[in-house]
Chain A
């Protein structure tokens, strides 16, 4: 199985900060990576697929990049509604594994 490791696991930041989350795959997955945002008690929401393609309706402050084994999710200017947990997921092969999550909290 492909393992995904996110870093950091926890991030404390202020409104307006630029935030970067990294997801590393245990083997190459081309660009078959998605990013999700999840708020407490809610289902996850798809943000980005194919590593860098924004899902419909996602604010432009979110962006994704990378290929192979290293990927990043960047929030260019953190907004109050962005405080949540973020997950990466690989779609290269089954089982479709998730990263362990990165919790973004208010500093």
Chain B
């Protein structure tokens, strides 16, 4: 059974930083492109970014609102996906989900609240 479990969410002040983690199991993580998606309270889904697998160069693409502030990385030895979020803004407040790139599997989400 595939499981994706996010952690690391919480309350942070504007301008602050936070690192989210996603622990993957039940799939060949090394061969899987991974994605982050977020959802602001009461709003729709927003694609954040995607990281390819190592043999594809671990290339990362980002959505415009987070480019230059967020960094997606992975550690295949630990089956872990990360989202480093810097220079956080109030509009980054959302539930953050990790998913496989084709989005057939999702985590339960972790809430990030950016507020003073």
Contact = CB atoms under 8 A, between A and B. Distances in A.
Interface in A71-100: 87, 89, 91, 94-100
Interface of B: 35, 44-47, 50, 61-64, 97, 99, 102-104, 106-109
A102 B34 CA distance: 26
A94 B61 contact: yes
A95 B97 contact: no
B61 A34 contact: no
Main secondary structure of the interface of A (DSSP, over half): loop
Nearest to A97: B47
Interface of A: 1, 34, 36, 38, 43-46, 49, 55, 87, 89, 91, 94-101
Given A43-B97, A49-B102, 7 more contacts: A34-B103, A43-B99, A45-B106, A91-B102, A97-B47, A98-B45, A101-B45
A95 B97 CA distance: 16
Contacts of A91: 102
Contacts of B97: 43-44
B103 A36 contact: yes
Contacts of A89: 45, 47, 103
A44 B63 contact: no
A43 B106 CA distance: 7
